[in-house]
Chains A and B, each alone.
Chain A
Amino acid sequence: MRLKNMVVVAALLGLHLPTPPLGAEDQAELNRTLLRKIEELQQQVRILQRQDELAKESSAEKVKTAANVSIGAGGFNVQSGDSNFVLKVRGYAQADARFYFDDISPRNDTFLLRRVRPIFEGTVFNKYDYRIMLDFPSSVTTSAGNNGFVQDAYLNARFFPAFQIQVGKFKEPVGLERLQSGGNLLFVERSYPTQLVPNRDVGIQIHGIFLDDVIAYQAGVFNGISDGGSTDFDANDDEKDLAGRIFAHPFKKTSISGLKGLGLGLSGTVGNHEGTLRGYTSPGQQNIFSYLPSVSADGDYWRLSPQFYYYWGPLGIFGEYVFSNAELRRTGSINTIQAQHEGWQLAASYFLTGEDNSFKAVNPKKPFNIGDGGWGAWEISGRVSQINFDSSVFPNFANPATSARRATSWALGLNWHLNRNVKMNLNYENTDFDGGSGSPLLNTGEQILFSRVQFSF
């Protein structure tokens, strides 16, 4: 038996030892032993292979459930392994320069921080999105409502793409340019129609998209704010505004490539307002229309805004019209008037470097990089816009000597998107005013050069 073991070991080790010849029975026994040993070894190999396989499966499972942390052009992202929990830290900052082409303007030529906005957004339990966006620009100071600092603070429950509920503070779904992110604007300052629609308000909105975004809708109940306003709470009345918008891309699913980027929409608000009213400003952010101190909103307040955009390759055009109706009263008077202001704009831009134009952020084909041949994306733009103030407000509700009846502006711009995160704007804008004979600014008009350096992440 000892001899047999030696033979087996030698055989397994591949050695050829001088051994005495075996009988047939011994040979058969040796063969059986060898076979058994080989089978045992085979089993060991299979076990090791299977253990390796299971270890790999286990590692793959762990990778699936491990949190994923990333940083890049889109900011800092943390995502749970099952994608149910997401936190994104993003933000953008805009450093502007404004130069007025005369010394009449009450405003000084200045450098300023127009927007400084950290953004925290993400998802919890797969369907609940949240967003908190703060702002620390040059002109905002602390207030009881923190209105200027808290821009967005909302939760959106994505039950289905077609049915979502959003609650908190966010933009009312009305103005086309207002709904465009402050970081993706075509010009340094938004145009007149934006001043006639509400900005951010607190409320609840249902919204959704149908047919892969061929039709989008929003409808919500909000505190209700005056034109261009933004607020955290309703300090004026118990009434609420209903705001709604429907926007369609009727050719998105068709084969007509030239019309796929056409979007058409209609939005509006309806409600009842009381309380003070905001004035209106020029593109250079100078006051061009104010109500008299004794005037306040007291009654119906509604707005209507047809709007469109069209994007085809490097070309982009968008336009909107806003009609705003406010019932006004002077202190001590029982009579009211319906003040009906209107504004419109038509803007176009073209990417000289061939990028596809978009309502959203544009990614340069070749980011700017000296020595690497990349020049970023270059975009030229133009805009005409106008605001008309209702003549019935003069002279009892607004001073005709210091408030304009109409402002008409045209602007030219050059935008340089160095990469996805850095953008520079250079705008020239001219504005002519009707009315306001007592105001040097309104008499001579406004010519202004804007520049902006924007960094986003």
Chain B
Amino acid sequence: MKKLILNSALLLSLVTSLAAKDLTLLNASYDPTRELYQDINAAFAKDWQQKNGQKIKIKQSHGGSGKQARAVIDGLEADVVTLALAYDVDALHTRGKLIPADWQKRLPHNSSPYTSTINFLVRKGNPKGIKDWDDLIKPGVSVITPNPKTSGGARWNYLAAYGYAWKKYGTEEKAREFVAKLFKNVPILDSGARGSTTTFLQREIGDVLISWENEALLALKEIGKDKVEVVIPSISILAEPPVTLVEKVAKKRGTLAVAKAYLDFLYTEEAQLLAAKNYYRPRSETALKQYAQYFPKVELFTIDEVFGGWNKAQKTHFDDGGLFDAIYLKK
């Protein structure tokens, strides 16, 4: 019987090693990072092969940040997630038990290898004269932003507007009134940031798109300065899109080492330059200097400073029955 068990184990290991020949990694990310990760994946695959002599294929999955987190919790076998906000990554711990509670401490800069902020994209010549957040609540201004219930980017947009009003007018009541007026000017709520960009640029709806800085700069490059302009508001929010390893999945798929290496790679000078090239604000000073023309200095506030962190912001503003529901349902 011992011999039989030994033979069975040998057969098992042979079959497993044959089956595990192809090394693949899945990165579940949010909507606007398609171009960024195309570049980073190619660079990492090359780097990994040079260092380890092993070919790797990195697959991408993109969608609204919250939707992606739910998909991973429901069984999408992503080895790593690179989402729009920490609250969505937290859900992988609180609802999915897929990662530890202190996931944000595992990598530098709160596990956000790059940052971004929120600004405006307007039509050429800025026909509605939009210069700052106050201009978005004027009657007759049509504002395009996605649905904060489904889109991470939209939550950053909402919080940027709210934070601006709170800082400028000094009370929460005024801030609420401000965002309520702003959403009265929103004719369509797309489910994700990329959808809103389509609404504004391809379908030619709206006077202003509240957008990730990287998405606005990308649009400027692709659509052209003769059609759109970027407007930098006086105050905006520091958006820190986080990344993390989905340990349970990576362990199961036998990709733990390569998935960790992939995330570490995001902090290398090579990846930081690629982030800057794709209009994400890099953490590296060198990369930031090299691409300084993309990233003008803006007064930025953090989510902790104004809202007391993501959990509190989510509960107050975006949970069912929260402030956004009250504002939007009233509309």
Nearest residue in A to B1 (C-beta to C-beta)? A240
Check if A219 is an interface residue, CB within 8 A of chain B.
yes
Chain B residues contacting A126 (CB-CB under 8 Å) are 75
Given known A-B contacts A47-B187, A54-B188, A219-B11, A163 and B205 have beta carbons under 8 A apart: no
Check if A159 is an interface residue, CB within 8 A of chain B.
yes
Interface residues of B in 4-48 (CB under 8 A from A): 4, 8, 11-12, 15-16, 18-19
B32 CB to closest chain A CB, in angstroms? 18
Interface residues of A in 192-239 (CB under 8 A from B): 206, 208, 219, 221, 239
Check if A46 is an interface residue, CB within 8 A of chain B.
yes
B254 CB to closest chain A CB, in angstroms? 11
Nearest residue in B to A47 (C-beta to C-beta)? B187
Given known A-B contacts A46-B203, A46-B205, A47-B188, A206 and B1 have beta carbons under 8 A apart: no
CA distance A242 to B5 in the complex (A): 9
A206 contacts B11, CB within 8 Å? yes
Check if B190 is an interface residue, CB within 8 A of chain A.
yes
Nearest residue in B to A240 (C-beta to C-beta)? B1
A43 contacts B142, CB within 8 Å? yes
B205 contacts A50, CB within 8 Å? yes
Size bracket, chain B contacts = 20 to 34
Chain B residues contacting A391 (CB-CB under 8 Å) are none
Check if A339 is an interface residue, CB within 8 A of chain B.
no
Nearest residue in A to B16 (C-beta to C-beta)? A163
Given known A-B contacts A84-B75, A239-B1, A47 and B205 have beta carbons under 8 A apart: yes
A32 CB to closest chain B CB, in angstroms? 13
CA distance A240 to B8 in the complex (A): 14
Choose among A50, A242, A270 the residue that contacts B203 (Cβ–Cβ < 8 A): A50
CA distance A421 to B203 in the complex (A): 53
Check if B211 is an interface residue, CB within 8 A of chain A.
no
A162 contacts B19, CB within 8 Å? yes
A219 contacts B8, CB within 8 Å? yes
Chain A residues contacting B18 (CB-CB under 8 Å) are 162
Nearest residue in B to A239 (C-beta to C-beta)? B1
Nearest residue in A to B3 (C-beta to C-beta)? A242
Chain A residues contacting B8 (CB-CB under 8 Å) are 206, 219, 221, 242
Most buried by A among B4, B11, B15, B195: B15
A50 contacts B11, CB within 8 Å? no
Check if B299 is an interface residue, CB within 8 A of chain A.
no
Chain A residues contacting B244 (CB-CB under 8 Å) are none
Nearest residue in B to A53 (C-beta to C-beta)? B203
B11 contacts A46, CB within 8 Å? no
CA distance A221 to B4 in the complex (A): 9
Nearest residue in A to B5 (C-beta to C-beta)? A221
Given known A-B contacts A43-B205, A49-B203, A239-B1, A206 and B188 have beta carbons under 8 A apart: no
Given known A-B contacts A43-B142, A43-B205, A54 and B190 have beta carbons under 8 A apart: yes
A162 contacts B188, CB within 8 Å? no
Check if A27 is an interface residue, CB within 8 A of chain B.
no
CA distance A368 to B255 in the complex (A): 55
Size bracket, chain A contacts = 20 to 34
Chain A residues contacting B75 (CB-CB under 8 Å) are 84, 125-126
A50 contacts B188, CB within 8 Å? yes
CA distance A160 to B18 in the complex (A): 10
Chain A residues contacting B206 (CB-CB under 8 Å) are 43
Check if B204 is an interface residue, CB within 8 A of chain A.
yes
B205 contacts A162, CB within 8 Å? no
Given known A-B contacts A43-B205, A50-B203, A126-B75, A242 and B12 have beta carbons under 8 A apart: no
Check if A51 is an interface residue, CB within 8 A of chain B.
yes
A167 CB to closest chain B CB, in angstroms? 14
Given known A-B contacts A46-B204, A54-B190, A84-B75, A162 and B15 have beta carbons under 8 A apart: yes
B188 contacts A163, CB within 8 Å? no
CA distance A242 to B8 in the complex (A): 9
Chain B residues contacting A47 (CB-CB under 8 Å) are 187-188, 205
Chain A residues contacting B19 (CB-CB under 8 Å) are 159-160, 162-163
B268 CB to closest chain A CB, in angstroms? 33
Given known A-B contacts A50-B199, A50-B205, A163 and B4 have beta carbons under 8 A apart: no
Nearest residue in B to A49 (C-beta to C-beta)? B203
C-beta contact mask, B202-221 vs A, less than 8 Å → 1, else 0? 01111000000000000000
CA distance A206 to B4 in the complex (A): 14
CA distance A50 to B203 in the complex (A): 7
B110 CB to closest chain A CB, in angstroms? 32
B111 CB to closest chain A CB, in angstroms? 29
Chain B residues contacting A270 (CB-CB under 8 Å) are 4
Interface residues of A in 338-355 (CB under 8 A from B): none
Nearest residue in A to B18 (C-beta to C-beta)? A162
CA distance A162 to B17 in the complex (A): 11
B66 CB to closest chain A CB, in angstroms? 14
C-beta contact mask, A114-127 vs B, less than 8 Å → 1, else 0? 00000000000110
Which residues does A use to contact B, with CB under 8 Å? 43, 46-47, 49-51, 53-54, 58, 84, 125-126, 159-160, 162-163, 206, 208, 219, 221, 239-240, 242, 270
Closest 7 CB pairs of A and B: A160-B19, A163-B15, A242-B4, A47-B187, A46-B205, A163-B19, A50-B203
- A-B contacts besides A54-B190, A58-B191, A162-B18, 4 pairs, CB < 8 Å: A49-B203, A54-B195, A126-B75, A162-B15
30 contacts between A and B (CB under 8 A): A43-B142, A46-B203, A46-B204, A46-B205, A47-B187, A47-B188, A49-B203, A50-B188, A50-B199, A50-B205, A51-B188, A54-B188, A54-B190, A54-B191, A84-B75, A125-B75, A126-B75, A159-B19, A162-B15, A162-B18, A163-B16, A163-B19, A206-B8, A206-B12, A206-B15, A219-B11, A221-B4, A221-B8, A242-B4, A242-B8
